[in-house]
Amino acid sequence: MGKKKETVFVCQECGSESSRWTGQCPVCHAWNSLVEEKVFTGREDDRRRRTSATAAPGRPQKLAEVSSGEKERIDTGIGELNRVLGGGLVPGSLVLISGEPGIGKSTIIMQAAGNIAERRGKVLYVSGEESEEQIKMRADRICRNGPDGSKGISDNLFILAETNMENVSAVCDNLKPEFLIVDSVQTMYSAEIESAPGSVSQVRTCGNELMKIGKSNGIPVFIVAHVTKSGELAGPRILEHMVDCVLSFTGDRSHEMRILRARKNRFGTTSEIGAFEMAEEGLLEIENLSGTLMEEMDGGSEGAVATAVYEGTRPLILEVQALACPCNAGFARRTSIGIENSRLSMILAVLEKKLGLKLMNQDVYVNIVGGFRPEGTYTDLAVAAAVYSSCCGSAPDSRTLILGELGLTGDLRAVQNSEKIIKEAERMGFEQIVLPIKNAERIRSGSDIKIIGMRNIREIRELF
């Protein structure tokens, strides 16, 4: 059967509906206030259709009467995760989290599931990869719900080992969870599609079904996704457009630090990051990220420079290390970790042109300590200073912070949020900060830290 057309009469005074016209509203008793409206409804068994969690199917709703999701955010019990999400989970939102195998995706999701199950109600964890026993072992290790912080699993935390999307939807209708987790979407399949799980059509169909479950019932949904060798999300690109948030978990499995970054967020900033430390009992939040990144910096080392970036709503202090040494044979190598190679090549070209450094026969290695990969151009001047320090054999003052964007002409361009970075530098005990002259001119007086403004990269010699 196709679409069905229904006729209703809506009161323009109170908004109530009536199946027949009587001349007078049966609710507010206003005369001649009923207006005829035609509503088209699809088949009741149409699985492709999504309905509202608050409005009647096929009926428009006044936007002014829709409650704001900002007041209804769900606390995950993990401060850094709440920060990346924009303040917590929004009911009905779809969150896609990706990362390399073993990086900690399932761990942080289990921690959030345990907290929400204890504080809010039923949580459904759908696993298409691991057995119930494997998930139970992880939950025993990381879940804590006792009043004294003792370990224990909430009775509201449910596990479902299932890959059929229709069965998952039926369980959600019966259980009515407050939070739904699907690990992972590449293992799910719909019986309506003949292709294998993980194919483009299956991922698209299962994503649509999960969106229907979340939006129609006001349930926040966490979806785990696989990544390719290049670190991109596996599956169709439409999955990223469909969800509300895309979170990326990065870090070196040989190190304890993990960085959670929002690549897309309809309910917050996309540049926000959260920092965690992998421990035996799960992921621990790192509140003082600047201190963690700078705790091993040795003062007076050649090629080591302190810099800063502004990620989301927080300033971060980082250490940049550079090493320049003569190449043995062939072309000189350019290797960077945390900095794009194209950006490094541009900085080296400016140093050769404007400062006269001979780098054609020098291997140059640049590293952001801690495995952190900052975004933006805040670190340009610090990278240039670190390379210059390694080449000339002298070290800058360890209590000096250097930041700024470097142009092809050698001039320095202003960066954003410099005042907040200065406050963070003062908190970390730095005595002076070097930044573009335009930023220095905007700084309000009253700061205890010494401000040094630079116009051109040539002035960097004064620091050594």
Q: Residue 425's pLDDT is what? A: 92
Which pairing describes strands 412-413 and 405-406: parallel, antiparallel, or unpaired? antiparallel
Q: Residue 365's pLDDT is what? A: 95
pLDDT one-digit tens code per residue, 277-310: 988 888 999 988 888 888 777 777 899 999 999 9
Residue matched to tokens 């690549």: 263
Q: Residue 55's pLDDT is what? A: 60
Q: Tokens at residue 231, please?
A: 């670190």
For residue 131, how many other CB atoms are within 10 A of its CB?
Answer: 11
Number of alpha carbons in the 13 Å side-chain half-sphere of residue 458:
7
pLDDT one-digit tens code per residue, 338-367: 899 999 999 999 999 999 998 988 999 999
Buried b (16+ CB within 10 A) or exposed e, 187-210: bbbbeebeeebbbeebbbbbbbbb
**What is the Cα–Cα distance from 314 to 229, expressed in whole angstroms?**
30
Q: Residue 343's pLDDT is what? A: 94
More confident residue, 388 or 142: 388
Q: Residue 93's pLDDT is what? A: 93
Q: Residue 268's pLDDT is what? A: 85
Q: Residue 309's pLDDT is what? A: 94
Q: Residue 1's pLDDT is what? A: 44
pLDDT one-digit tens code per residue, 170-205: 999 999 999 999 998 989 999 888 888 888 888 888
Q: Identify the weakest region by mean pLDDT among 19-23, 179-183, 328-332, 434-438.
A: 19-23
Sheet holding 34-41, edge to edge: 17-18, 4-11, 34-41
Q: Identify the weakest region by mean pLDDT among 31-40, 216-225, 370-379.
A: 31-40
Contact at 8 Å (CB) between 104 and 112? Answer: no
Sequence-distant (≥ 6) Cβ neighbours of residue 35 within 8 angstroms: 9, 10, 11, 12
Contact at 8 Å (CB) between 11 and 33? Answer: yes
Query: What φ, ψ does residue 148 adopt, rounded to 5°?
Result: -100, 15
pLDDT one-digit tens code per residue, 112-138: 999 999 999 999 999 998 889 999 988
Q: Quote the mean pLDDT of the chain.
A: 85
Residue 220: C-alpha distances to residues 114, 123, 167, 217, 346 (Å) = 15, 10, 19, 9, 44
Residue 379: C-alpha distances to residues 198, 299, 344, 383, 455 (Å) = 40, 19, 11, 6, 16
| Residue 146 in this model has a pLDDT that exceeds 50 | no
Query: What percent of the chain has pLDDT above 70?
Result: 88
